Structure 1
C-alpha cells in the first residue's frame, strides 16, 4: 500500500510539473552549440522587474519573491496583472550587475539583486509602473551563455559540483567566459527536489 501511494504521488507530481512547465513562460533562446552536458544558448533581449534585498545567498530569493510577485500580481498603477515567468536566478556580482547579465539574483555591494523576466512583448516603457519603490524595470540586452542543468534543492556542494563541470567543459572546448555564474531556478518551492530544474549560466563571447 505504501509503495502504491508513493508511486501515485510521484506520478501526480510529475504530471503537475509537466503541466506547469508548459503553462509558465520562459525567455526564448536558440542553442548555438552543444557540448558534453552543456548548451551554449543565445537569449534575445527581454525586460525584467528587479529588486535589491539585504540577505544571504540562501535567503535572498525568499525575501525578494513577495516583492516582485506583488508587482506582477497587481501592485502597480492600473492594478494590471502580468503572467508569471521562469526562471528566477541569482548571480554573484562583486559590486553591480553587468549590463550583459541575464535575469538574475546578483550579489551587489548592498545585498542581492533579484529579477523576474516579464512576459514577451512587455518593455520597460509599456509595463505598468510599480507602486513599490523597491521594484524597478529594465530592458536587458541579448546575451550568450553556457548552461548546465541539474535537479535537487539548493546546496553549496551541489552548486559547486555542477559549476566545476560547466567550467571544465568550457575549458575543454576552449571557450572563454566572463563575469560571475548565474544560478537559475525554474520551479515552485513545493516542487519535490527530484523534479526541480536548476541551471547555472556563464557568459561567453562570440565567436565560439
Structure 2
C-alpha cells in the first residue's frame, strides 16, 4: 500500500507540472465579473492552518509552506490510524488533504502570514492540534473579496505589480478596499510558469456578486 501511495503522489506531482490539480478542494464562493479581469467573490467562513514567518517574501513563503505541509502530512497530536479512500493507507499520525489556494499576506515589516485552507469536512473541534507551536488553527470570517487572476511570474515584484493593478481597478469602479492585498497560489513551484494559477485578493466593503 505504501508503494501504491508513493506512485499516486508521483503521478499527482507529474500532473501538477503541467497545471493539472486533482484531489484538491477549493473553498466555495459566489462570484461575478467586475471587469478588467477582476472578479468579486463572496466566501463563507473558512478554517485555516497558518504560520507567521519573519523573512523576505520568497523565503517566508518557503518556510511557511514547509511548516504547514508538515502539519497536514501528519505533524499533529492525534496518534491514530485512519483509512483513506482506495488505495487504503494507514499511518500513526493523521493526514489532512491538501487544499488550495495557499495564501500569503504581510503582517508587519518583514513578517508574513502563510495559510493553508482546510477541507470543508473538518471543524475546529475535529481538526488535530499541530505539533509545531508556530502553527495555529484559525477561523477566517466570511468576506467579499476582489480577485485578479494571473499566471507566470509570482515573484515579489510581480505580486506588487498585480496588487497595484487590482487596486487601480477597484478605485476606477468606486469600490473601497477593506484590507491589504493577499497573494493566493494554486500550484507548486515546479508547475510550468505559464500554466500556474495565481491570484491577488483584496477584501472590499460588502458587495452583491
The two structures share one fold, judged by TM-score above 0.5: yes
Paired residues of 1:32 and 1:42 also in contact (CA < 8 A): no
**Helix, strand or coil at the partner of 1:152:** coil
| Equivalent residue, structure 1, for 2:114 | 114
- With structure 1 as the length reference, what TM-score do the two structures score? 0.79
Q: How many residues were matched structurally?
A: 181
Give, in angstroms, the shift of residue 146 of structure 1: 0.3
CA RMSD of aligned residues (A): 2.0
| Equivalent residue, structure 2, for 1:177 | 177
How do 1:1-208 and structure 2 match up within 5 A? Answer: 16-18=18-20, 20=21, 22-78=22-78, 79-92=93-106, 107-108=107-108, 111-207=111-207
Alpha-carbon distance in structure 2 between the residues aligned to 1:17 and 1:32: 24
Alpha-carbon distance in structure 2 between the residues aligned to 1:207 and 1:31: 10
Give, in angstroms, the shift of residue 16 of structure 1: 4.4
Give, in angstroms, the shift of residue 110 of structure 1: 7.2
- Show structure 1 runs of 5+ residues with no match: 1-11, 93-106
- Show structure 2 runs of 5+ residues with no match: 1-13, 79-92
Paired residues of 2:144 and 2:207 also in contact (CA < 8 A): no
Alpha-carbon distance in structure 2 between the residues aligned to 1:156 and 1:134: 24
Runs of 4+ in structure 1 over 4 Å off: 12-16
- With structure 2 as the length reference, what TM-score do the two structures score? 0.79
Pair 202,190 (structure 1): closer, same or farther in 2 beyond 3 Å: same
Alpha-carbon distance in structure 1 between the residues aligned to 2:30 and 2:38: 13
Alpha-carbon distance in structure 1 between the residues aligned to 2:15 and 2:94: 31
